[in-house]
Structure 1
Amino acid sequence: MKEITLIFFCFLLGLAGAWALIWFGERIGMLDLPNKRSSHNKKVCKGAGIGLLFAILVASFFLKITHFLWFPSLAISVASFWGGDRYKLTAKQRLCVHLGCSLYFLLFLSETIKMGVGYLLIIPIVLFIVGTSNFYNFMDGIDGIAGITGLIGFLLLANYGKRIHADPNYITFCICISASCIGFLFFNFPKAKVFLGDVGSILIGFVFSCLTILMSNSIMDFLIMAGFLFPFYIDEISTMLIRLKERESLIVAHRRHIYQLLVNEMEMPHWVVSVGYGVFQAILGLSLIAVKPSGISAVFSIYFIYSMLFIIISLFIRYKAHASKYH
């Protein structure tokens, strides 16, 4: 009963954060003004992710979540609020904050579990945490996509965590975050009245990646749980490779993600694209869970099949978007 009450309260916090920014966002300068890189055409308040932050902090307190998860989550969210939503930090300054929070998490984690040879994994794991945090931020560009992905991603984590007998508090924690995403979505989907903002998108990516590490008992577990954000990873990485090939700066805003092309060039409704990404995410996540008994080769096979499927579809979309742009 206490868990249900906590989950419902986190839902209310997600709802309240979005409501508060709708009413007070403009007064405190939290406006997202449309530009040629945007996928919206009118000013919308941003920063509703503050509700998710409060939900994470409240859930952390009642579930006794370790400080090396909630404290860097608080730090990275506050830095994103002031440095991304309210004012502007440079890309290097933001990266330093993300690296610092990731190292704080990992260094305390390594002391807690006495990682030993695991110290050799610090660099790739830091890259995973920082990459996931930023990828989530980059992919938060249309109505509903970040909230739906967060909702499904953390529910998949909770489902898989129960299967591998992870700490029950982490499982409840994941459900609390999903509940806060539902609360936020009431004002962001199907038509956005408020945006998550950097305070929320970077926070969700950071917490997701840290929980993936905390709940993993093996490399297999890590590979499966990391895949619960696969649509974001594959869209971002494939777009980055194309931009690098064309010698574009990766720190310059753009509209070349597949979800952006679908909305801006092919004029699909935001909600259709967001739901489509969510369905893809859920199917792939459940596929990874289903093939676990068959071993790691089956997991890699799932990644290969879905990667090829995404690449083929994305090439078609890019071709159609390019054609429509010049007709």
Structure 2
Amino acid sequence: MTELKLQSLKKTYGSVAALAGVGLTVPSGSRTAIVGPSGCGKTTLLRLIAGFDTPDDGTIAFDGETVASFEEQVPAHRRNVGIVAQDGCLFPHLTVADNIGFGMKADRATKLAKASELMEMVGLDRAMLSRKPDELSGGQQQRVALARALACRPRLMLLDEPFSALDTGLRAATRKAVSEVLSAAGITTILVTHDQAEALAFADQLAVMRAGNFSQVGAPRQVYARPVDAETAMFLGEAIVLPAVVGQGRADTPLGSLAVDDASYTGKTQVMLRPEQMTLQQSDTGAAVIGEMVFSGSTCEVLVTLEGEGGPSFRLDIPSLSPLASGDRVAISVSGAAHLFR
């Protein structure tokens, strides 16, 4: 198991600062998800960790040993880092067994035995060892790619959007299987993704990236519930951000008086609620109106607008069997405290 530490990493391409002083510690044996919009620097960061590129400044260390800085660079092939990319990158002309054993320094019998063991570890039938990649499903190909990355016993595993090309149901099942394998192996892992739900479900630590740096790093539940700013909040999921005047642990908002999670603050600011904190109930005297409704199977996404000129609008999911309909007036109840942005 390996601890990864990044300190003040910078990387520019021409006039574009891809990384602007990134710092991060990934504890040994843990899983960290890096999430952010396209172009924020996620892939550049993975390339530096893997050794495919050199930082302009800052350091990368494995267990306290510097593997990259502006002055020195341990070559990629000596870092022992496993990588699983979006499309798996399996060799189409090789069998599954040969793909898994490709980087191993051993005789064929040993490679075959190891490939068989790894197939069982990633939840695939050993009978597939003789198949070619085009005879496998997308999820099976990704598990073979993981087995190949595990074959050389990597110190660190980098997952670069490995589930994004899979169908929704297959994506969740493959992610769960990969997570279980990596946990059992005790391999320090970094997942890069633009899928917020995937990042929240996979990681022990969540790092939200924006414009070449991390806006917030912490436990997934903490970052989701107490984001550092409104932009981070809305990137991680639907968020209702309201203007507020705060004092004595309560906020005066367009939704009425709400408890806040920071009783020490007094003054004008913004507060945030997550949709799961809110409940709608049909009421002739309610302060909001339901607008557009979009059916999504078990739920309906509804647009809710507060009455009054310039009243804010937000979207919520409600059960599809709910009797509420477009045009209904509703009362809104809130559970828990609103998160306060300082």
Q: Look at both structures and tell me which one has the larger radius of gyration over its CA atoms.
A: 2
The structure with more strand, counted as a fraction of residues: 2
Shorter-normalised TM range: under 0.3
Q: TM-score with structure 2 length normalisation? A: 0.27
Q: Which has the higher helix share?
A: 1
